[in-house]
Amino acid sequence: MRYMIQVAEAPSEFDARSNEHAPEYWAGYAAYSQALRQAGVSAGGAALKAPDTARTVRTQNGALVVQDGPYADVKEQLGGFFIIEAENLDAALDWAARCPSAAQGAAEIRPVIAMDHSAYAPENAPAPTHCFLLYDDEPHLRMTPAEAEAQMGRYMAYTEELVKAGVFVGGEPLEPRVTATTLRLADGARRVEDGPYADTKETLGGYYLIRAGSDEEAMKWAKLCPCTDSGVVEVRPKLEISMAGTPA
């Protein structure tokens, strides 16, 4: 089973990326990433730039609206994510407990609906520059089978457009929010809660990783995403990370 481990971080953790605590901060994630790779469970992931670099796109009264900042004003924000292969949720929780964010913020575990992108994005695909985070209130759960199929068709067509333009790198939908599990560590003890880490109307439903030449080009593609009809597309620049686990 494939799971996403979402890295939920407080403002102090984002600050630690570039202040006097940066070596300690990056060493923790470098060691964690290496452990995932050595165990053969790593299936991808990305570190994202700080929430103040985000822009969100949604449709209001039939018009696209672009706003600065992340989609929700919450204490802890998404700082990045890991995609892992695990036999079950318990195994995924064991890995999430080792993620540095579990001790400082939270780690949310969500099952991924695995997609085969081998024909779209081969191993030598260009590195992504931006991540589109798709937030909505899960309208597909209220749709008829025919409506859900039509909506899926729109996403497939959108993906094909990204592929044809040569900007698609990856992306997958997530299972509904009811499947989410949030883990925090307090004094070394696990605190596991059902549900997503933030109690908001709209929740993360999937993501795209694209290669764009500029923020403006990324925003152009974000505005075409079907998610803007019923939710929000949050555009976050991907943080370039060196092999040592520090910003390139």
The CATH number that applies at residue 59 is: 3.30.70.1060
Over residues 103-114, the mean pLDDT reads 92
DSSP per-residue string spanning 95-124? HHHHSTHHHHSEEEEEEB-----TTTS-TT
Domain assignment present for residue 246? The answer is no
Please check whether residue 159 lies inside any domain of the structure: yes
**Residue 192 located in a structural domain:** yes
* 53 within a domain of the structure (yes/no): yes
Whether residue 113 is contained in a domain is answered as: yes
pLDDT digits (tens, 9 = 90+) for 184-224: 998 889 999 998 887 777 889 999 999 999 999 999 999 99
Per the DSSP assignment, residues forming a β-bridge with 236 are 131
Question: Could you read off the pLDDT of 28-67 as tens digits, one per residue?
Answer: 999 999 999 999 999 989 999 999 999 999 998 889 999 9
Domain for residue 245, yes or no?
A: no
Please tell me the pTM assigned to this model: 0.89
Which residue segment(s) compose the domain that 84 sits in? 2-237
The number of folded domains in the chain is 1
CB within 8 Å of 178: residues ≥ 6 apart = 195
Q: Does 247 map to a domain?
A: no
